[in-house]
Amino acid sequence: MEQMITMSINLHLFIIGATILLALYNIYASYSLKDEVKYINRMKYMQPQYLALVTTIAFTGIIVMAVNHFVIKPSLILMIIAILIIYFTSIKKHMIRKYANTNNPENMLYLRGFIKKKYVGDILLIILVGSASFMMR
């Protein structure tokens, strides 16, 4: 049983690391890609991958929670709030990207700024929640 708990937590942490790497790539793409059409297309294909990783974080968290017999701790509530914040900001990013026009530089500038803030915020949120949950043990 102890091996299953350890494996579940390690899988959870591995996927969190992959999510942080993908968020870092999205920040890098925001700075490096100058062509607006190429940038929009790249973000259109990266968003489902990012959300799949965030969903996998939630799923592996549920597995860890099930192995621990669904004990509700403050760190668990903090993790749930963080996942919901990431989902809601991802929905807002999708809505902004949907209405962004490549011919309007102001919209594209706002989109790039929001994407940079969103992914930096997601990385900080994941690191803060992860460190807070380890401190609460």
User: So what's the pLDDT on residue 96?
Assistant: 86
Residue of 83, 87, 70, 89 lying closest to 129 (CA atoms) = 83
User: So what's the pLDDT on residue 126?
Assistant: 93
Assess contact for 30 and 112: CB atoms under 8 A: yes
Tell me which amino acid residue 49 is. Q
User: So what's the pLDDT on residue 84?
Assistant: 94
pTM, rounded to two decimals: 0.86
Distance CA 42, CA 114 (A): 16
Residue spans per domain, the chain: 2-135
Rounded to 5 degrees, what are φ and ψ at 63?
A: -65, -45
User: So what's the pLDDT on residue 119?
Assistant: 94
- Which regions of the chain are under pLDDT 50? none
Chain centre distance of CA 115: 12
Q: For residue 5, give every residue at least 6 positions away whose Cβ sits within 8 Å of its Cβ, in sequence order, or none.
A: 64, 67, 68
